[in-house]
Amino acid sequence: MQGRTRLTDVAEQAGVSTATVSRVLNDKPGVAGETRRAVLAALDMLGYERPDKLSARSAGLVGLIVPELSNPVFPAFAQAVESVLSTMGLTPLLCTQSPGGTTEDQYVEMLLEHGVDGIVFVSGLHADTSADPARYQRLRERGLPFVLLNGHNPAIDAPSFSTDDRGSMELAVRHLVSQGHRKIGLAIGPERFVPAHRKRVGFEEAMAAYVDEPTPSVVTTLFTVEGGVAAGTELIEAGCTAIICGSDLMALGVVRAARSNGRQVPADLSVIGYDDSPLIPFTHPPLTTIRQPVAAMCQAAVTTLVAEIGGSQVPRGELIFVPELIVRGSTDAAPPAY
């Protein structure tokens, strides 16, 4: 980089002096790690190419395996994990799955061949109760540190980090009941996935506590827009005035189903999503949803992984994070009885 203007631009973006920017760009000592990262981040944000001496610096490799990226919550997890790894001087290797593509097991073998220091699994086979957890035991026997995000399995000897799925349903049901709803449905994904099962249990517990509904309406489908359309159509026909969904994509499908059935959201039907994915605040109407604390979960998971990579003893078991109900325009008072 040359020119006073560019130095000034980077300095303003990073909140430091031009002299500090110059020291970082010339790889000089005496600059705090946090300050150095701020300057590098400013370079990246402004679209400047890093000098070769800085680009070449690559620390330990950490694998990051996530499901398909069509659900925007998974790119959000990937970005948060990568951000924390980068601040710790580690280089992430992102592995994304797609139907018919490379499997989780194949990715693990590839990562082992690349000599990674650890692996972060996001909503992987560990979350699927029909999958054999022995694959993770074999990984543990090889001495490779790894952590699990969303989907705790007590048979797997690894630190686990999850959102409180059961508690999230209590938040959603209580909100809808406070608005006068009594006929509340749940649109959820396959129950073999731990988060889906926990949501269903939490929903049924909350309905029993707040509504005393003997057989609450639950439709199991896929965590997709199409799955939401199918579940929404069935739950609307069952007379639900509000529907809680297992993902934001499902919620968008429910909104579509409502419109196809001549219903208005939220006048005729209230809808709650789950995740608070990027762009969800800009839907029409803006979606009320359960926000997963993605940044906090990823910070804790990566910090734990790095500690284990460094030889520290880290606690096993599950750390559960509290979600937050974000109220927007897709929920309102229950409509008058027909």
Residues in the chain: 338
Alpha-carbon gap, residue 11 to 5, rounded angstroms: 10
Chain CA centroid to CA 56, Å: 30
User: How many distinct helices (H) and strands (E) make up the chain?
Assistant: 12, 12
Mean pLDDT of 297-306: 95
Q: How many CB atoms lie within 10 A of CB 293?
A: 17
Residue 211 token pair: 């509504």
What is the Cα gyration radius of the chain?
23
First to last CA, the chain: 69
Judged on CB neighbours under 10 Å (0-12, 13-18, 19+), 131 is middle
Is the omega angle on the peptide bond into residue 285 within 30 degrees of 0, that is, cis?
Answer: yes
pLDDT value at residue 56? 45
Contact 177, 235 (CB under 8 A): no
List the one residue out of 244, 197, 249, 203 whose CA is nearest residue 222.
Answer: 249
Q: What is the pLDDT of residues 63-79, one digit of tens each?
A: 999 998 788 899 999 99
Residue 66's H or E segment, with its range, is: strand 61-66
- DSSP per-residue letters across 69-130: SSSTHHHHHHHHHHHHHHHTT-EEEEEE--TTS--HHHHHHHHHHTT-SEEEEES-GGGBTT
Q: How many CB atoms lie within 10 A of CB 109?
A: 11
* Pairing mode of beta strands 288-291, 324-326: antiparallel
Q: What percent of the chain has pLDDT over 90?
A: 69
312 or 160, which is more confident? 160
Q: What is the pLDDT of residues 156-172, one digit of tens each?
A: 999 999 999 999 999 99
Alpha-carbon gap, residue 130 to 265, rounded angstroms: 37
pLDDT value at residue 290? 98
pLDDT value at residue 89? 82
- DSSP per-residue letters across 129-181: TTS-THHHHHHHHTT--EEEES---TTS-SEEEEE-HHHHHHHHHHHHHHTT-
Q: How many CB atoms lie within 10 A of CB 123?
A: 23
pLDDT value at residue 301? 96
The pLDDT-based confidence of 304 (bands split at 50, 70, 90) is very high
Residue 271 token pair: 């809808």
- pTM score, two decimals? 0.83
Residue 33 token pair: 């790690």
List the one residue out of 4, 2, 75, 1 whose CA is nearest residue 44.
Answer: 1
Residue 207, amino acid: M
Alpha-carbon gap, residue 187 to 230, rounded angstroms: 9
Asked if residue 338 has pLDDT above 70, the reply is no
Q: What is the pLDDT of residues 246-260, one digit of tens each?
A: 999 999 999 999 999
